Structure 1
Amino acid sequence: MDASRHTRSLDIPLHRLDVPLPHLLPFAIGTFDTIGALSRANFPHRHTFYEIVYVTGGHGAHVLDSVQRALHPPQLCVITPGQIHHWADAEDLTGHVVLFNEDFLLSRTQDVAALRALSRAPGHAPGGQAAPVEALLAEMEAEYRALRAGYQKLLRASLQILIVRALRSCSSAEEAAPHSRAAEGAAAHSRATEVTADFTRLLRLPGGTCRSVDSYAQELGMSAGHLHALVRQSTGLTPGGLIRLQRTLEAKRLLTATTMTVRQVAGAVGFRDPAYFCRFFRRETGMSPGAFRADAGGNHHDPRIESIAAGPDGS
């Protein structure tokens, strides 16, 4: 199964995280090969999720929000939702790729702020953190593959450690402080990402998927149009699109982890009509709720995943 789904927004390809069963976490980790061909995409695109890339080999350049930096492995790159990036003339890329949605951070605002700071440059050398970062990534991938008890908590804790180590490695003032024009763009991007973070935090609260975009805009103190513009700037998706993503994720969780009926799941994620919910779920996942539940239960006999990208779409 692909690690992401590929759509288009404003003529810029948009990648959405779609992790394989039995992993229902909004998280994936692997190499450039196991994540898939799009982890090396040479065309400008953006994500609805975060990506941390640790490049250990290869040559070429990484381009992030029109800023290009030549690859000199080992090199650490952080891409946040809504940023536009690609690999320019890159060949023989090797290393680790970590993908995750913001809800995997469990609303840790300090981690979100750290990732935004790290994403202001297209990459930097890990310096003295190289060996610890490589060891940590190897352990995270082993945990992700083995599915031992408590692996979700370990992956979250390890991700927080990875963020701290990345911050330690990014000590150059030249990388952290953009020029004036770039600073203005960064400020605008920061405003959009802050509002989007507030919106997604509210969306993840109990009953969040049952609310309208207008109600969120009112709570955030702005018009629905302004909310729409900021969220789209940050993620490439509309507020309604993020609500659909959250509804789908919550429905997957309920279908897999509870004995609720499809009708009950439909009501819990904001659908009055179970038939409409079934059509929605099939459109978003390619499966009916019943088939998804059966497939989720049937995959646990062999949790090992050779590759999370069988086709050309990867990250």
Structure 2
Amino acid sequence: MKKTPGTVRSFALYGNSDTAPAWAELVHLEDIPERSSRFDWEIDLHFHEGLLQLLYLTAGGESEAFIDGTRWVLRPPCLILVPARAVHGFSFHPQTDGPVITAAQKPLESLAALTAPGLLDHLRRPVVLEVAPDSRHARELQPLFEAIQHESQWHADGGMAAGMALLTALLVQVARVAATAPATAQSLRTRKALQIARFRSLLDEHVRRRESVSHYAQALGITPGQLSRLTREVLGISAQDVINARVVHEAQRELVYSSLAIKQIAAELGFEDEAYFGRFFKTHTGHRPTEFRTLARQQLA
């Protein structure tokens, strides 16, 4: 696996040429060997635009994950949560097994904000969690993965609502595991990876203020140039690109899952006027806000 980003590619699902919008496929589930074995168990660094991934390694030998510059040692059974736009790759043991869920992060965040606000932090931060094989958590996780797989294959009426509800329940279980189990390989987190994690956390807090690279650099105690070099080294893009991507993510979520007018969304996200917001959004998505809202809601319907 390439551990240093050059051109980090975006995939809907790794190895697929399509980059379907995050709202088009709300929940996808497959087993790790189904995709990883096609690439000799080596998944190069990449990211998913708007898509969260949750892996549950249930079998196999010691493997490795690289997420936003952090190396994690994977010893089954363990859970791996990779939020949207996190640059990640895997080096799996050839006998690795277990389910992988890929899901749209925006609707999950909207649902969590209404039903379990405490989940938002878990949805936005990469983590690897040990799961004790004979624990209550291990017994409760597998049935939820199986129920989600059943809904994703059944295609019955109300499947989307059932799938999202089950996924929320699964994430509640992940949060419970996090509350009782130590994260794996914390000692392997580099200073750069910790700075990236802090930068992402600050972005989550201040995304609606339209703060500059200089603002975030000052909060991190480094120069704007150092911050951009850091993000290019770890994430493969500039600090301004990271900021813009987070703003676009928030704008898309509001456009699809809120009833606010475009002018209101622009103001909520710190834009001077609706026209400026429209130009910014089209530059980064290829669609005007009204077009995006219409297309996304049609696909959801």
Which band: TM-score by shorter chain? 0.5 to 0.7
| Structure 2 length-normalised TM | 0.62
Q: Corresponding residue for 1:306?
A: none
1:217 correspondence with 2:217? yes
Q: Contact between 1:42 and 1:86, CA under 8 Å: does it hold in 2?
A: yes
What is the SS of the residue equivalent to 1:11?
Answer: coil
Q: Aligned partners of 1:297, 1:50: CA distance in 2, in Å?
A: 20
Q: Corresponding residue for 1:95?
A: 99
Q: Corresponding residue for 2:174?
A: 162
CA shift for structure 1 position 288 = 2.9
CA shift for structure 1 position 295 = 1.7
CA shift for structure 1 position 45 = 0.7
1:86 correspondence with 2:90? yes
Q: Aligned partners of 2:215, 2:276: CA distance in 1, in Å?
A: 22
Q: Corresponding residue for 1:132?
A: 140
CA spacing shift, 1:77–1:197, aligned 2, 3 Å: same
Q: What amino acid is the match of 1:248?
A: V
Q: What amino acid is the match of 1:192?
A: Q
Q: Corresponding residue for 1:63?
A: 64
* Structure 1 residue corresponding to 2:22, chosen from 19, 31, 38: 19
Q: Aligned partners of 1:125, 1:12: CA distance in 2, in Å?
A: 38
Unaligned runs of 5+ in 1: 1-8, 302-315
Q: Contact between 1:195 and 1:231, CA under 8 Å: does it hold in 2?
A: no
Q: What amino acid is the match of 1:254?
A: E
CA shift for structure 1 position 240 = 1.4
Q: Aligned partners of 1:45, 1:29: CA distance in 2, in Å?
A: 20
Percent of matched pairs sharing the same residue:
20
The count of corresponding residues between Structure 1 and Structure 2 is 269
| Structure 1 length-normalised TM | 0.60
Q: Aligned partners of 2:29, 2:218: CA distance in 1, in Å?
A: 41
Specify which structure has the bigger relative contact order, considering alpha-carbon pairs within 8 angstroms and separated by 6 or more residues: 1
Q: What amino acid is the match of 1:158?
A: L
Which is worse superposed, 185-194 or 236-245?
185-194
Q: Contact between 2:29 and 2:100, CA under 8 Å: does it hold in 1?
A: yes
Q: Aligned partners of 2:220, 2:6: CA distance in 1, in Å?
A: 29
1:148 correspondence with 2:161? yes
CA shift for structure 1 position 260 = 1.3
Q: Aligned partners of 2:244, 2:296: CA distance in 1, in Å?
A: 21
Q: What amino acid is the match of 2:44?
A: P
Q: Corresponding residue for 2:253?
A: 253
Q: Contact between 2:25 and 2:103, CA under 8 Å: does it hold in 1?
A: no
Q: Contact between 1:282 and 1:288, CA under 8 Å: does it hold in 2?
A: yes
Q: Corresponding residue for 1:191?
A: 194
Question: How do 1:34-49 residues align onto structure 2 when only pairs under 5 Å count?
Answer: 42-47=42-47
CA spacing shift, 1:87–1:132, aligned 2, 3 Å: same
